[in-house]
Amino acid sequence: MPNAPVERQFEKDVVEILSDLTADWDQGLSGPLGPNTSVVGDLGFESLDVVYLVTAIEDRYGRQDLPFEELLMTDGRLVDDLTVNQIADFLSKHIG
Amino acid sequence: MITLETSTAHARSAADGAGEDIAIVGLSCIFPGADSPAQFWQNIVGKVDAISSAPPDWQPELFYNADGPEVDRTYTKRGGFLGDLCRFNPLKYGVPPSAIDGAEPDHFIALRCAFEAFKDAGIPRLPIDRAKTGIILGRGIFVNRGWVTVLQRTLAVNQLIEVLRQLEPHRDESEFELIRQELKKHLPPCNADTFPGIVHSALVGRIANRLDLNGPAYTIDAACSSTLLAVEHGVRELRAGRCSAVLAGGSQVSTPGMVHVMFCQLQALSRSGMIAPFSDKSAGTLLGQGCGMLLLKRRSDAENDGNRIYALIKAVGSSSDGNGAGLLAPRTEGQQLSIRRAYEEAHISPSTVGLLEAHGTGIPLGDAVEINSLNACFGKPQRGRPDVALGSVKSMVGHLLPASAAASLIKTTLALYHRTLPPTLHAEVENPQLELSKTRFYLATEPKPWIHGNALAPRRAGVNAFGFGGINSHAILEEYPHDENALADLDRRWPCELVVVSAENREQLLARVEHLARWLPPDASFDLLDLAASCAAEGGASRLAIVAKSPADLLTKLAHAAKLLAEPERNRIQDRAGLFWYEQPLAQQGRVAVVFPGEGSQYPNMLAELCRHFPEVRHQFDLTSQAFEQRGWPFAEVLFPQPSSAKQVEPQLFQTEIAIASVTAAGRGLWRLLQRFGVTPDAVVGHSSGEYAALLASGACARQDDARLVDIIAAGTDSASELRRSQLMPSASLLSVGGVPENLLNAILADQHGAVVLAMDNCPHQRILAGSEAGIASVLAALQGKGGLCQRLTWDRPYHTAAFQPALPIVERYVDFLDLRAPQIEIWSCASASAVPAEASALRALAVDQWRRPVRFRETVQAMHAAGVRVFIEVGPRGNLSAFIGDTLSGQPHAAVALDVPNKNGIEQLCRALGALAAHGVPVQLNELFSRRGPRPIDFEGEAPVPKRREPILPLELPLLRLDEAAVEAWQANARAADLPPNSARGLPRDLAAPPAHPAAPAIAGEPASESIRAAVDGRHSEANHEIGAAASSAKGIHPSNGSSHGNGHLTVPRHRATSHSTAANGNGGHHAEREPITVNHGALASVPGQAEPRPENRSSAGLAIDPLAVGRSAASSPAIAPVPLAGPAIEVRRAAHLDFQRTMQSFLKTQAAIAHLYGSRHAGRAAGAIVEAPDFKNPPRPEDLACANAAERAMPRVDAFEPARLTSGFPPSAPLPSASQPSASQPSASQRPAFQPPAPPIARSQPNKHQTAAAGADALQAIRRAAAQYPFMETVLESTPGVRLVVECELSLAKHPFLRDHTFFGRRVSDHDPELTALPIMPLAMTLEFMAEAASLLCPGQTVTALCRVRASRWLAMYGASRRVRIIATCEADSAVQVRVVEADGDGEHEIAAGVVELSPAAVSLGAPRLPQLAQQAPPWRPEDVYGKYIYHGPAFQGIDLVEDWGPQGVRAAIHQPEPATMWPGRQVPNLVLPVALIDIASQLPGIVNVNWNLVGSTFLMAFPNEIGRIEFAPAASPEGPLVGTATIAQSSEKLYSDTEIVNADGEVVLRYLDKIEELVSFSLALYQYAFEPHRPLCSSALQSLFAGVPGANHCQLTHAEMAAAKLLVKSFWANVVARLVLNHAERAEFQRLKLPPVPLASWLLARLAAKEAVRTQALGGLACLADVGLQKDSHGQPQAILPDGAIVPVSLAHKPFYAVAVAAEPGVFRGIGIDCEPLQPLPEELLAEAFDADERALLAATAGTAEAATAWRRAGWCAKEAVGKALGRGVLGGPRCVQIVACDAGRQSVSVVLAGAMAAAFPEYGRADARPIEVSWRQHEQFIVGLCLLPKT
């Protein structure tokens, strides 16, 4: 894991982004977000929330060219869910 | 294929030949995993696989061998087992409990099902003609518990004994008899009571009897078709008018291993462990247990009577296979015949069937033949695709053989009732060989709403049952057209419930939430549905909505919400986990609007859950399906596909027709649902095609009845088809663009010059573009690298663009068809982003126009918000619009709530949506969530809800022949004795055996020679006196007690029940008869003087001795008790007794006054106590009585034998609720509490500090050790993780814990001389609870222990030695619950002593007012001082019962007090205990007193030892001073004592409450127990004294024998220890510990000591000594002698056989020696005879005896004589039996005279001389023994 610290940073970033996006909801019962938090299963993301996530990531890193379809699509269909880890991996691959 | 006309009529009259429809009006069942139809249905739709491995009591070890070659084994132990669900309360159904154990379980489960079917049918509220009600049940004859009991008791036991006799011919008959009796002991009874229960036909007879039905009652055996044939018979009876109701069903309650074995012979059972009908995994069937019944009536009667009709039976067809291939092979021709006959009889076509419940056993051959038969009858797929859901419930519950169709019928009935297609398990991939795709049948693997589009015929279903031997049947069922919304939904367990807590304002809401959180049982044992429904009934403006998935989840969320509500700065709670509360509800500030999504939001299986629970949702899909059906198009199978076809049909869901139709149907359905909840919006708007639903909802379409709606749907579908086919509009590409800045997108669009346009402006983050493919491609390219997220959409229609313009006329025509008019609700248009003028023309224009104009949803939402809309409800699938609204109105006050979202259970989302609406102040009729599921209202002002105690489990297993350990030991002990070296010749060929030991065999160390010889000759265990001190060579260790009780036993003597009057002959109440024979205790007058005239009503029986029955019934009615005339001395005794009685009465009245004063202060606020009546078996409850009883049950606590008056652990609202911020006044002050400060604030369990450094850890351990010093039992802290886990050890000893001396088993005085001799000290369970409480307090500092619950006492904590160690392991279970286990720390393992959960709270909690009913029975028939004087062994530290005021079968009430704490710790500083230990113990003594009779009658009594305690609660001041009142209510079975107990102080407050205590009843020797209280009283009877009266010298001796009725108890090592500690001195105790004898010899050893000590103390001390003060020792020859406290030596001799001992003690100096021996009265085996006696002796004995019978006695007597002489001479029989020669026998004197020879003569020459006088030995028969006594005079 040569770039483990970098990934850890992305993980922190993603958690922060997701926390902002879900600020409308209390987290008291679901506990803090972590690397295994899933955006649909745990955070109840709907399709529009994914757009928010994409734009928030773009805003944070100042990058408009990230190939999000890699992250969001498999076999021509939207993936069912994503975890913080998966998003951080994606970011470290394309930004880190 | 059957070709018949399709029936169009729902009902048919008898006139048209088909016969009247038969209505199913009641259901009942118990199947694996389900004990009610509701649970069964929940399991079916929940896909519960109830197949499991056989439970241990099925005895798999006897039947199961997976791979073995034996043909008598089953290769699978899987099946459908009833297990824990198989419960039956005999009293409830008027069955004597004694009739159950040896009978067939089917009888009782069938009876229970019959009652429940009646109850389900509303009887007695609804009428039934009992005279014309029949019972017809399907049942097979299989091997079963009842008949196997008979077989075991008769054939098996006797055969086994014969085999044993063959194997071990040398054994005594008594040994075989012992084994025979021991074997029978474990078998259920087999008698007149149980006989009806094994008679096949009596099964239905019993039902007719109990329910008083006069119609025909019989069983049918038609193998697997039995139940359907029973129904067929029932249908016939009803149609013929012979019956007006028929209970039909089937029963197969047990499936013993033998049945499995036989099915395995056919290889019919599945080796895969599951049943997978019709699937590629089919590998056979599995057997299941169960019983199911249907109550049938004619449809017209049912309708007239107002019955609920589940479904209708149209016909049942049956046939036989005729001459098939084989008896057990299915034959398709026969099967087809039964199917055809059914449809022919019903005049309906199989084409109208939508569900087929197959026989479907999972046996591949059977499945294939069944599909063949179905194909032949049902024909080809009608539209090229399968349309009948196929399944088999056997996949879930197994094959119930004769009852299998009961499961099939009930499943199918409920499927029709709920309009749901049920799933089948393990059928995901069909068996390809069946080629189902070419048939009409598809495998239903998921539950689906049963969408029905056939307007001509109702939903119909077929049920197959094909039996072994070629008996076939098929039933046709049909739905009943009832108002579904008015009927119960049996699937009442939802995945979650919406709990809305309401109050007027925030403060009150907080208080309400806190109250609820405390009031509810903390173990989450309440019913969530009931609670949710009850909360919904309350009102208030401030509403907290909680979506709770379980009671525990609710408790967590309540606590969380309370915390958040208490935060002053917080103004809302909105948690995804399902919590909603708003300080400023939006509905109070603005309007509510509904938004309908359009095409594209549909998805497969949308709203499926809602369809199942809300018929109005499903009904809208039905209507759409009808419209589609008219056109031959699929609908239901596209929208609700089975998983196997989902992928294929999904594209169809996006075709224009079905896309719009399904979304509109969803919108209509959800709109109706919203109306059900009373939500009425101020405005509606539709997004794109959602506008159609909006128009319908707004009331703009004139007519909306079902027929009109079908027309509208059909027209819309035609319109969509026309659009699609017309090609009037070009195809378009669509692109969703998300997250691209608006100006950038506008610029890019501008560059397209109209080739790409904006079709939908959904929200800032999403727009939909439409255009040419090239244009879209170029937009995509332009957006590349500009961020955001673009997605191409899958459909190609240029809606909402100018390209649509040419197709507008098609839309116009459809809109015209809608016949629009002014809406009733304001309707908005996304085309104009404004409200539509309320004119038909404007509406029409926009409805058409919107198709060529962009959807301006963003602007519309903004405009609506501007117009005051604050709450948006999305009424349609998927929830996209809610997200758009949120995006659009971000930052502005609003709420967007979606009724449905994908990936979330439909019910859960509905609850969340309604919860959010309610929290926002939208009026919601929440009761609609619950009303169809039968919630039981909870009274929040009353007790917190508790679950009902469950009924007793009915045993199903086959009775097993087995021996308990003691019997095995007894048998083996004899065998071992036979094998003793070195002189044993047994087992060796004679010529190889050691030569006979005589004349002078060397004695081995510690074992006198005579015993060796004896062993060699007799082959049995040594019984002679010499074994005192001789350690047995067999060294099987004494087993530590593994009893299931704890050291808190107290006395309970079997009570005579005055109610016992029935006999077994009438089958009623026989179980009530006293088991122990009743004998009048002559000694009672003297020993219990106070009871000669204890009660005035007893005066009539003054001529009788104390008759225990006299109080309960007149003397005349007790002929079994012989009157005993009063002799002179007895009159004296009576006078004394009378004086004593007067004294007692005075004391009684005094205490009575005190009690009355106490009660006076409490009466005011108390409800009337329960009136309790003993069950009346002569008049058993009928269902109507049950119904009344149920009503009564609601009104008052009900008490019967199994359901004692129930207490609950609630918090009445009047109780002050201490909050965290307001410490309770009753919290101990700093000065009262230990001075230590908690080392750290409590750390939440979820956050253990894992990164603690080692040093910090050590510090923490030090801190906890300091804290532990404050607790007396927290001695050594071994491990500590604060707030998580704590392990402590404690050493317990008499020295450190002096209170143990007051808790010894039994008796407080063991010795008059040595105070250190105590009975066995046992740690009170109350003190073990203290260990737990201390550990929990140490683990959670700063908290108060409020209760202990789920306490399980596993074993005694007895102090066998000087000290013991226990380990206490405490683990935090939740914030306020600590699980604590107390285990042995000094044994061979960590055996658990007790375990429980300690509940803590920041402050103490009041227990409120008493809840137990006020008992009003009678005063007890003994004196107050007898409680501790005679009945309860506890010493002063645990004595607190002052006066038992009320006493009877329901319980006791007593005045009590708490002893001074110093009593427990004499001579030392009193430590701080966390719990009021003494009070807990005293409370626990109360229930058992109920069984203390006024005479100690019989030879045994019952002691009660606690096994389990449901809960103990403590009040704030739980160490009360002053007078208290304790009440215990009880219920008993033969083995258990159930009780609840409350202790109330003078203020009427409960200070201590025991709930659900379960104690084990143990039978104990009464004599021994009485000895414990009065150690000078005779323990061993001296019956032998009179037996030997007249024998010279006998007047200088004392003879005793010990044969206590409960002596067999002694084989339990614990009880042997108890008795040893009562009667042995220090040296003997040490020897007892060293002996290491097996249980039976050990017990006999003890008995012999009892007998000898008793003989000695009576002889030497006139009985005035404790047995422990009489020492037994041996002299230099191993001869026993007794030593008295003053050092005097007393001659003694003793002998024993298993469980029988005799002894003799003589006046010192009178005799040369004394000897006693005993022998069983059994023939002496021939070879031993030859060893023992020479020919002369044998001839002499035979001649004296005369008869063969007497010869046995004389031979044994001869043997006894030789042994007794050996003992009397002090050396045993030296040189073998021939060295003592019998020279004379005297039949008159019953004596044998002997002379000495050989070694004996050499050792005792004075008796060996030729002229020496023979020694005379007297013998007598005592019971089944010969006792020989040799009193050798001084020479």
Q: Pick the residue with more confidence: B1520 or B1810?
A: B1810
Q: Does A29 touch chain B (CB under 8 A)?
A: yes
Which region holds residue B545: left if phi is over 0, alpha if psi is between -120 and 50, else beta?
beta
Record: contact B576-A30, CB cut-off 8 A = yes
User: Which residue of A20, A48, A53, A61 to mutate against B (max B Cβ within 10 Å)?
Assistant: A48
CA B1640/CA B1296 separation, integer angstroms: 35
Strand, coil or helix: B1819:
strand
**What value does the mean pLDDT take over residues B713-740?**
90
Record: contact A24-B574, CB cut-off 8 A = yes
- Residue closest to B378 by CA, chosen among B451, B464, B445, B457: B464
Predicted confidence (pLDDT) per residue in B1456-1512, tens digit: 998 888 889 887 888 889 999 999 999 999 998 887 763 444 566 777 888 889 899
The DSSP result for A18-42, as a single string, is HHHHTTTSB-TTT----TT-BTTTT
pLDDT attached to residue B1499: 64
Record: contact B739-A48, CB cut-off 8 A = no
CA B808/CA B806 separation, integer angstroms: 6
CA A66/CA B766 separation, integer angstroms: 19
Closest CA of chain B from A51, distance in Å: 6
Q: Pick the residue with more confidence: B1027 or B1304?
A: B1304
Q: For residue B686, what are the contacts with CB-CB under 8 A and spacing of at least 6?
A: B595, B596, B598, B667, B692, B693, B694, B695, B830
Q: Does A30 touch chain B (CB under 8 A)?
A: yes
Phi, psi of B1348 (to 5 degrees): -120, 140
Cα torsion through B735, B741, B743, B744, rounded to 10: -60
Lowest mean pLDDT among B1521-1530, B1537-1546, B1555-1564: B1555-1564
Predicted confidence (pLDDT) per residue in B1759-1789, tens digit: 999 999 999 998 888 888 889 999 999 999 9
Record: contact A25-B564, CB cut-off 8 A = no
Q: Are B1023 and B1011 in contact (CB under 8 A)?
A: no
CA B686/CA B66 separation, integer angstroms: 64
Whether the predicted pLDDT of A19 surpasses 50: yes
Record: contact B879-A25, CB cut-off 8 A = no
pLDDT attached to residue B632: 86
Q: For the stretch B1231-1246, what's the b/e string if a residue is b when 16 or more beta carbons lie within 10 angstroms of its beta carbon?
A: eeeeeeeebeebeebe
What tokens appear for B1308 in the block? Answer: 């407080």
Record: contact B787-A58, CB cut-off 8 A = yes
What tokens appear for B1219 in the block? Answer: 């909050």
Record: contact B883-A29, CB cut-off 8 A = no
Q: Are B444 and B391 in contact (CB under 8 A)?
A: yes
Lowest mean pLDDT among A77-81, B49-53, B896-900: A77-81
pLDDT attached to residue B1363: 87
Is the Cα dihedral B1566, B1567, B1569, B1570 positive or negative?
positive
Record: contact B789-A51, CB cut-off 8 A = yes
**What value does the mean pLDDT take over residues B189-208?**
90
What residue ranges in B1723-1824 does DSSP mark as E strands? 1780-1786, 1791-1796, 1815-1822
Closest CA of chain B from A6, distance in Å: 23
Is the Cα dihedral B1343, B1344, B1350, B1355 positive or negative?
positive
Whether the predicted pLDDT of B1004 surpasses 70: no
Per CB-CB distance under 8 Å, the chain B contacts of A21 are: none
Record: contact B765-A51, CB cut-off 8 A = yes
| CB neighbours of residue B599 within 10 Å | 23
Record: contact A25-B575, CB cut-off 8 A = yes
Whether the predicted pLDDT of B628 surpasses 90: yes
What tokens appear for B976 in the block? Answer: 């071992």
Lowest mean pLDDT among B185-194, B1000-1009, B1250-1259, B1322-1331: B1000-1009
Phi, psi of B1550 (to 5 degrees): -75, 130
Per CB-CB distance under 8 Å, the chain A contacts of B879 are: 46
Closest CA of chain A from B1282, distance in Å: 22
CA B1130/CA B1118 separation, integer angstroms: 22
Reported as a pLDDT band with limits 50, 70 and 90, residue B990 is: very low
What residue has token string 């995804």?
A: B576
Give the residue on A whose Cα is nearest the Cα of B1247. Answer: A31
Per CB-CB distance under 8 Å, the chain A contacts of B574 are: 24-26
Predicted confidence (pLDDT) per residue in B1423-1439, tens digit: 888 888 888 889 989 99
* DSSP label at residue B1022: -
CA B373/CA B350 separation, integer angstroms: 13
What tokens appear for B1473 in the block? Answer: 């205990």
Reported as a pLDDT band with limits 50, 70 and 90, residue B1518 is: low
pLDDT attached to residue B69: 57
Q: For the stretch B1185-1197, what's the b/e string if a residue is b when 16 or more beta carbons lie within 10 angstroms of its beta carbon?
A: ebbeeeeeeeeeb
Record: contact B883-A46, CB cut-off 8 A = yes
Closest CA of chain A from B1393, distance in Å: 37
The DSSP result for B561-602, as a single string, is HHHHHT-TT--EEEETTTEEEESS-GGGTSEEEEEE--TT--
pLDDT attached to residue B579: 94
Reported as a pLDDT band with limits 50, 70 and 90, residue B1562 is: confident
Establish, for the pair of chains A and B, how many residue pairs have beta carbons separated by less than 8 Å: 78
Record: contact A26-B573, CB cut-off 8 A = yes
Predicted confidence (pLDDT) per residue in B1627-1658, tens digit: 898 888 888 777 778 888 888 898 999 999 98
Lowest mean pLDDT among B137-151, B299-313, B1215-1229, B1389-1403: B1215-1229
Closest CA of chain A from B825, distance in Å: 30
Peptide bond into B982 cis (omega under 30): yes
Q: For residue B1636, what are the contacts with CB-CB under 8 A and spacing of at least 6?
A: B1031, B1032, B1035, B1036, B1037, B1038
Q: Pick the residue with more confidence: B1603 or B264?
A: B264
Record: contact A58-B883, CB cut-off 8 A = no
Using CB atoms, pick whichever of B575, B880, B884 lies closest to residue A26: B575
Is the Cα dihedral B94, B100, B104, B110 positive or negative?
positive
CA B1456/CA B1479 separation, integer angstroms: 9
Reported as a pLDDT band with limits 50, 70 and 90, residue B1517 is: low
Lowest mean pLDDT among B1165-1179, B1351-1365, B1687-1701: B1165-1179
Record: contact B556-A29, CB cut-off 8 A = yes
CA B1187/CA B124 separation, integer angstroms: 7
**What value does the mean pLDDT take over residues B488-513?**
94
Q: Does A28 touch chain B (CB under 8 A)?
A: yes
CB-side exposure of B1540: number of CA atoms within 13 Å? 22
Per CB-CB distance under 8 Å, the chain B contacts of A25 are: 574-576
Per CB-CB distance under 8 Å, the chain A contacts of B893 are: none
Strand, coil or helix: B451:
coil
Q: Does A52 touch chain B (CB under 8 A)?
A: yes
> Which residues does residue B465 pair with via DSSP β-bridges, in sequence order?
B473
Predicted confidence (pLDDT) per residue in B375-385, tens digit: 999 999 877 78
What tokens appear for B1429 in the block? Answer: 């004087």
Q: How many helices (H) and strands (E) does chain B have?
A: 50, 54
CA B580/CA B912 separation, integer angstroms: 9
* DSSP label at residue B1110: T
Reported as a pLDDT band with limits 50, 70 and 90, residue B1102 is: very low
Using CB atoms, pick whichever of A28, A44, A68 lies closest to residue B564: A28
Reported as a pLDDT band with limits 50, 70 and 90, residue B947 is: low
Reported pTM? 0.62
Per CB-CB distance under 8 Å, the chain A contacts of B560 are: 28-29
Per CB-CB distance under 8 Å, the chain B contacts of A63 are: 787
- The bridge status of strand B388-391 relative to strand B441-443 is parallel
**What value does the mean pLDDT take over residues B1272-1288?**
89
Q: What is the mean pLDDT of chain B?
A: 82
Record: contact B739-A43, CB cut-off 8 A = no
- What percent of chain B clears pLDDT 70, i.e. is strictly above it? 81
Q: What angle do CA B1459, B1463, B1468 make, to 5 degrees?
A: 145
Per CB-CB distance under 8 Å, the chain A contacts of B880 are: 46-48
Predicted confidence (pLDDT) per residue in B210-226, tens digit: 899 999 999 999 999 99
Q: Are B96 and B1067 in contact (CB under 8 A)?
A: yes
Give the residue on A whose Cα is nearest the Cα of B578. Answer: A29
Record: contact B576-A44, CB cut-off 8 A = yes
Q: Pick the residue with more confidence: B416 or B83?
A: B416
Record: contact B575-A65, CB cut-off 8 A = no
Closest CA of chain A from B1170, distance in Å: 44
Q: Does A48 touch chain B (CB under 8 A)?
A: yes
Per CB-CB distance under 8 Å, the chain A contacts of B787 are: 54-55, 58, 63-65
**What value does the mean pLDDT take over residues B671-690?**
96
Record: contact A46-B901, CB cut-off 8 A = yes
Q: Does A25 touch chain B (CB under 8 A)?
A: yes
**What value does the mean pLDDT take over residues B465-473?**
93
Give the residue on B whose Cα is nearest the Cα of A42. Answer: B576
Per CB-CB distance under 8 Å, the chain A contacts of B564 are: 26, 28
pLDDT attached to residue B377: 96
What burial class does residue B1226 get, using C-beta atoms within 10 Å of its C-beta: 0-12 exposed, 13-18 middle, 19+ buried?
middle
| CB neighbours of residue B1078 within 10 Å | 17
CA B17/CA B399 separation, integer angstroms: 35
Per CB-CB distance under 8 Å, the chain A contacts of B760 are: none
Strand, coil or helix: B895:
strand
Q: Does A75 touch chain B (CB under 8 A)?
A: no
User: Which residue of B555, B576, B793 to mutate against A (max A Cβ within 10 Å)?
Assistant: B576
Reported as a pLDDT band with limits 50, 70 and 90, residue B2 is: low
pLDDT attached to residue B1418: 82
- Residue closest to B691 by CA, chosen among B806, B815, B867: B815
CA B1704/CA B1710 separation, integer angstroms: 13
What residue has token string 């061993």?
A: B1580
What residue has token string 């208030």?
A: B540
Give the residue on B whose Cα is nearest the Cα of A78. Answer: B791
Closest CA of chain B from A8, distance in Å: 20
Cβ-based interface (< 8 Å): residues of B facing A = 556-557, 560, 564, 573-577, 579, 738-739, 763, 765-766, 784-789, 879-880, 883-884, 886-887, 901, 903-904
Whether the predicted pLDDT of B1095 surpasses 80: no
Whether the predicted pLDDT of B1206 surpasses 60: no
The DSSP result for B1623-1690, as a single string, is H--HHHHHHHHHH---HHHHHHHHHHHHHHHHHHHHHHHTT-S-GGGSEEEE-TTS-EEEE-TTS-EE
